[in-house]
């Protein structure tokens, strides 16, 4: 089949890193080529025909050569990217893909939750998710192998354009629910709870949706956004206040009635948000998150941070907690009930009619334009860019 594939090529990764700021996606280790069909991985796996496959920030960082060396042993080359997938099995049943290659899928059913050896062992080549593993294929191809544990059913009336947002929404909801313990404590103390979301791209909007839908309604959500359409969407989804990132510290200060100590970008709030969800993942955004989160508050890293440079003195002094937010699982909601993140994401996608976040779709052979569009989504007024395989 013809698919987009990434081969291990240090030279191309290096060139991509150099050229991506001016020529996004023009030079990369990604090629549209004929690839060998991956071997059938075994029992429980079936062919999954891709309808739509989104382009995620982590995909872009791989294509642009910015991915962390951490992943080198958790991926297997050559692989077909694409993990935000809606498609159908050969019998025509539609699903969204839960891309995590969980212990059952990897043939290590009894792997402990606090040991990630299964990502590099088991029946498959290394890979944390479909889209990073050469054994399964990925979403940027006409089809891939999906394990039965990865197939999440969707309602018949849920359009593909909405369903393709389920996976990123699940990531945002997971991050949002990581805010709950601190929000709960604030409510118990009688404080007006304040949660900040830094960034209003797909993941930031997903986090806002999760906060608004599953945490108490009186909680205040402040979002930092850069572009007008992001501001409008963040407000529409439920942020109480949306400001430019440079004005976030003042907005949080106003909401929490604290002091701003110091000047400019080095100023810290004397108190601040109970939780800040960083959906950007850069040195600057994490620094901002630390500046505006109250002592002993929590910073949730939703955006994949990779290699960052930080002054952690403030974190040390304020005993700030940094919490990673990777993918999804089974969530405990504020009322004590549990649900899978994907169930919540399907509910959220329907509630917000998430197709409004899908800005454009491309054919696989238009991948250079598609990736360039995704890399400049904010500036170009877009949110989510996806490949449409339905007519290919």
Partner 1 sequence: MLDVDRSTPPILFWRGEGFSLEKLPADRSRVIYPPEPLAGIDDVDGAIRDALLNPLDMEPLPALLKPDMKLTIVFDDASLSLPKMRKPDNRQRVIEAVLDHAAAAGVDDIHIIAALGLHRRMHDYELRHVLGDRIFDAFHPRGLLYQHDAEDLDNLTVLGTTDEGEVLEINKRAADSDLIVYANVNQVAMDGGWKSICTGLASYRCLSHHHNAHTLQTTRSLMGHRDHSALHKSIWRMGKILRDHGPKIFQIETTINNSAFPDSFGFLAKREWEWSVKDRAMYLGTEKSLNRLPNRAKRKIFHSIEAPYEMTGVHAGYTPTVHEKTLERVYAQHLVPVEGQTDILTMGIPFICPYNPEGIMNPILVMCMGLGYLFNMYRNKPLVREGGVIIMTHPTYREFNPVHHPSYIDFFDEVLADTTDPVVMGEKWEKKYAEDEWYKHLYRTGNAYHGVHPFYAWYWGAHGQQWAGKVIIVGGDPSTVRRLGFTPASTMDDAFEIASDVVGRSPTISHLHVPGVLVADVQ
Looking at the Cβ atoms of 267 and 339, the one nearer to partner 1 is: 267
Least separation in angstroms between residue 259's CB and partner 1 is: 4
Q: Which is nearer to partner 1, 11 or 257 (CB)?
A: 257
Q: How far is the CB of 235 from partner 1 (least distance, A)?
A: 12
Q: Which long-range contacts (CB under 8 A, 24 or more apart) does 331-340 make?
A: 331/173, 331/174, 331/177, 332/177, 333/177, 333/214, 334/180, 334/184, 334/214, 334/215, 334/216, 340/152
Check if the beta carbon of residue 165 is closer than 8 Å to that of residue 357. Answer: yes
Least distance from partner 1 to the Cβ atom of residue 251, Å: 7
- Three-point CA angle 146, 154, 385, nearest 5°: 75
Binding site for partner 1 (CB under 8 A): 243, 247, 250-251, 253-254, 257-260, 263, 270
Cα separation, 386 vs 358, whole angstroms:
8
Characterize the bridge pairing of strands 273-278 and 293-301.
Answer: parallel
Contact, 75 vs 132, CB < 8 A?
Answer: yes
User: Least distance (Å) from partner 1 to the CB of residue 247?
Assistant: 6
Would you say how long the chain is, in residues? 392
Nearer to partner 1, 267 or 308 (CB): 267
Nearer to partner 1, 87 or 224 (CB): 224
Instruction: Give the residue with the Cβ less far from partner 1, 121 or 270.
Output: 270
CB of 225 to partner 1, least distance (A): 14
**Residue 250 Cβ vs partner 1, minimum distance, rounded to whole Å:** 6
Q: CA angle at residue 7 from 129 to 88, to 5 degrees?
A: 40
Greatest extent of the chain over all pairs of C-alpha atoms, in Å: 63
């Amino acid at each position: 089949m013809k698919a987009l594939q990434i081969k291990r090529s240090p030279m191309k990764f290096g060139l991509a890193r150099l050229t991506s700021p001016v020529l996004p996606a023009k030079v990369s280790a990604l090629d549209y080529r004929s690839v060998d069909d991956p071997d059938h991985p075994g029992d429980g796996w079936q062919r999954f025909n891709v309808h739509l496959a989104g382009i995620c920030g982590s995909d872009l960082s791989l294509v642009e050569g910015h991915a962390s060396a951490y992943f080198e042993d958790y991926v297997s080359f050559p692989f077909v990217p694409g993990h935000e997938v809606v498609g159908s099995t050969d019998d025509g049943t539609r699903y969204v893909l839960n891309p995590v290659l969980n212990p059952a899928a990897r043939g290590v059913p009894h792997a402990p939750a606090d040991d990630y050896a299964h990502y590099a062992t088991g029946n498959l080549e290394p890979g944390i998710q479909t889209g990073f593993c050469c054994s399964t294929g990925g979403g940027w191809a006409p089809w891939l192998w999906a394990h039965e544990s990865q197939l999440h059913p969707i309602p018949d009336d849920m359009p593909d354009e909405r369903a393709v947002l389920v996976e990123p929404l699940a990531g945002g909801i997971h991050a949002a629910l990581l805010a709950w313990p601190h929000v709960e404590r604030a409510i118990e103390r009688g404080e007006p709870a304040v949660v900040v979301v830094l960034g209003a791209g797909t993941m930031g909007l997903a986090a806002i949706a999760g906060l608004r839908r599953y945490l108490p309604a009186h909680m205040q959500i402040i979002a930092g956004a850069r572009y007008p359409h992001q501001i409008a969407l963040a407000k529409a989804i439920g942020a109480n206040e949306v400001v430019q990132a440079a004005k976030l510290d003042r907005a949080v200060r106003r909401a929490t009635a604290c002091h701003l100590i110091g000047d400019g970008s080095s100023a810290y709030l004397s108190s601040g948000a109970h939780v800040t969800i960083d959906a950007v993942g850069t040195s600057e955004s994490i620094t901002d998150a630390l500046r505006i989160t109250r002592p002993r508050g929590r910073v949730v890293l939703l955006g994949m941070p990779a290699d960052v440079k930080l002054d952690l003195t403030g974190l040390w002094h304020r005993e700030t907690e940094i919490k990673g937010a990777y993918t999804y699982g089974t969530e405990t909601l504020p009322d004590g009930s549990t649900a899978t993140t994907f169930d919540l994401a399907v509910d959220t996608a329907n509630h917000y009619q998430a197709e409004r976040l899908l800005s454009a779709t491309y054919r696989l052979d238009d991948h250079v334009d598609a990736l360039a569009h995704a890399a400049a989504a904010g500036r170009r007024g877009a949110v989510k860019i996806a490949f449409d395989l339905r007519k290919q």
